[in-house]
Structure 1
Amino acid sequence: MKFGNQTVVSGFILLGLTDDPDLQLVIFSIFLSMYLLTTLGNLLIILATRSDSHLHTPMYFFLSGLSFNDIFLVTCTIPKMLVNMQAHDQKITYVGCLTQVCFVIMCVGMENCLLAVMAYDRYVAICHPLRYRVIMSPCICILLVAFSVMGSLVNALVNSLMVLHLSFCTDFVIPHYFCELTELIKLACSNTLIDNILIYISCGIFGGVPLSGIILSYSQIVSTVLRMSSKEGRYKAFSTCGSHLSVVFIFYGTGFGVYISSTVTESSRKPAVASVLYSVVPQMMNPFIYSLRNRDMKEALKKLISRILSPL
């Protein structure tokens, strides 16, 4: 592909998290462990919700979607990083980089949408319990997930395809362990105004709107719970939201942490290190949060694991 200065972009260089060769093996081992834990943990959540009929409810349907999305997100970034470290080759092709950008944007958008949908599900369950089965019917649940997928996919394609009009001069080095859209745009030597405006719009729609929905849902939940006369009822209501709230705090807390660190730091590597907090850590922690804080999930996982180990 040729640009204005006749420079052919065949690929980019991913600097990763460190140049220190002594730390490469440590980082490789840590990320491999995190990837395996994330994949195995979320896969167990999916299998447990599918195998136990007691978990065939909207809440666990959305949780299965979240787990699948988390597996896909870490698979988009970590394996390529591990392969590069093992091969001592930091290159990624131009097409591979754009593909990675597209998938990461889609998965992060899906994460936001699914967390908002799960908050709405808890709002309906607590504030309108008698109408819960009608409002959260199987058809509505599938439509909510479908709209989340389609919206996130369209957003990802638009942002990724906009990169195609950019011209890259001679600097093809990305100070990151995966192709991150903002870092890629910084390398362009052409006008990036439209791309940056598009990023802000996307963040507002797929970040601000879901977060506002979560806050609104939980404000209504808290108001309803505080009006309950029974302490046992209040405890049960809050306990059903505990796991989801923990996931929300981790995901958005780390996301805001990455944004703050990127604005105050002068090091090009620190944003890359900080991005691990929103693109890996929440996805790894989600299965543990739901399995440790949810009694039904605990029982379902015990049955699943015993069923898997019984032939052995």
Structure 2
Amino acid sequence: MQNQSLVVDFVLLGLSQDPNIQKMVFIVFLFVYIATIGGNMLIVVTILSSPALLGSPMYFFLAFLSFLDACFSSVITLIVLTVMAYDRYVAICKPLHYSSIMNWRLCGILMGVAWTGGFLHSMIQILFTFQLPFCGPNVIDHIMCDLYPLLKLACMDTHIFHLLVIANSGFICIIIFTLLLISYGVILLSLRTHSSEGRQKALSTCGSHIAVVVLFFVPCIFMYSRPPSAFFFDKIVAIFCTILTPMLNPMIYTFRNKDMKNAMRKVWNRLVMAYDEK
């Protein structure tokens, strides 16, 4: 340790070192990025431009989630998904008390909790890296500078840090994912007392939420809830979690949501009319 210099930068190998493959990957990821930004910001603009949607906590949380996906802020997305599950639970299981329970004061408190939780989670991750000495190789065989690849390069015994990562990320994902599945199970059981039309609408909404929850949590659980062994598909899982899931969220939430499609149509018509007037 004393005779070695500390590493101050790292080299990410990415998906491939082949220049031709790199060009193809760049083109694919560029279109995915454009679709992600465009789709999520379209949801944000549509909700902000539609008073009927903006007045509903459900669409307020959806706009917030879309904003996070557009910024690739996966740190507090899991907390927002939990808040959205609670919103659907109140709307379906206690419809008569929805407006009194899910008021804007509660929405502000829930968003404050989400930001605080995400900030604390991020700070814990940063403190992990500050405690790690790097004095050897600086090449990371991954697409991002994640904690597990960094731990492999640390010049110290990192077993304790592995346990801390599992506790801070893995167990939290498992607990929240389990609670979400239980909450949606309760919601689905409560639908037996609803009318056929109300049951169909609730199933459509909950189906979209469950799909997003599974797409986000399953890769995160795989990455952070297992021993830090290297698998050849770790990069694929990371791509799916950080790149593909934010792109799929707008499709899942809008294709089966009549209110969102009608609101987008109205926003588009207003833009066309404003353009024609000019």
Normalising by structure 2, report the TM-score. 0.90
Deviates more, 1:239-248 or 1:15-24: 239-248
2:197 alignment partner, one of 226, 232, 237:
232
2:208 aligned residue (230, 238, 243): 243
8 A contact 2:171–2:225 mirrored in 1: no
Secondary structure at the counterpart of residue 162 of structure 1? helix
Which whole-Å CA distance do the structure 2 matches of 1:4 and 1:71 have between them? 44
Match of 1:214 among 180, 186, 208: 180
In the TM superposition, residue 189 of structure 1 has moved relative to its aligned partner by 1.4
Tell me what 2:252 maps to.
Answer: 289
1:85 aligns with none
- Deviation of 1:259 (Å): 6.7
Q: Aligned pair 1:275/2:274, yes or no?
A: no
**Is the contact between residue 83 and residue 110 of structure 2 (CA under 8 Å) also seen in structure 1?**
yes
User: Is the deviation greater in 29-38 or in 218-227?
Assistant: 218-227
Name the counterpart of 2:42.
44
Q: How does 1:40-189 map to 2 (within 5 A)?
A: 40-56=38-54, 57-73=56-72, 107-189=73-155
Extract unaligned runs of 5+ from structure 2: none
Cα 1:163–1:277 change in 2 (3 A) is same
Using structure 1 for the length normalisation, give the TM-score. Answer: 0.81
Does the CA contact (< 8 Å) of 1:119 and 1:218 recur in 2? yes
Deviation at 1:265, TM superposition (A): 6.3
For residues 265 and 192 of structure 1, what CA distance do their matches in structure 2 show? 15
What's the CA shift string for 1:208-233, capped at 9, x where partnerless? 232122112112101110233x3223
Contact 1:14 1:174 in 2 (8 A): yes
Give RMSD over aligned pairs: 2.2
Match of 1:302 in 2: 265
Contact in 2 for aligned 1:169/1:188 (Cα 8 Å): yes
Contact 1:247/1:289 (8 A) holds in 2:
yes
Contact 2:132 2:155 in 1 (8 A): yes
How far off its partner does 1:205 sit?
5.5
Contact 1:159 1:195 in 2 (8 A): no
The alpha carbon displacement at 1:141 in A equals 0.9
Kindly state the Cα deviation for residue 125 of structure 1 after the two structures are TM-superposed. Answer: 0.4
Distance change >3 Å, CA 253–CA 212, structure 1 → 2: closer
Shift of 1:264: 8.0
Contact 2:165 2:224 in 1 (8 A): no
What CA distance in whole angstroms lies between the structure 2 residues aligned with 1:159 and 1:258? 15
Q: Which deviates the most, 5-14 or 19-28?
A: 5-14
**Contact 2:173/2:217 (<8 A) preserved:** no
Change (3 A) 1:193 1:257: closer
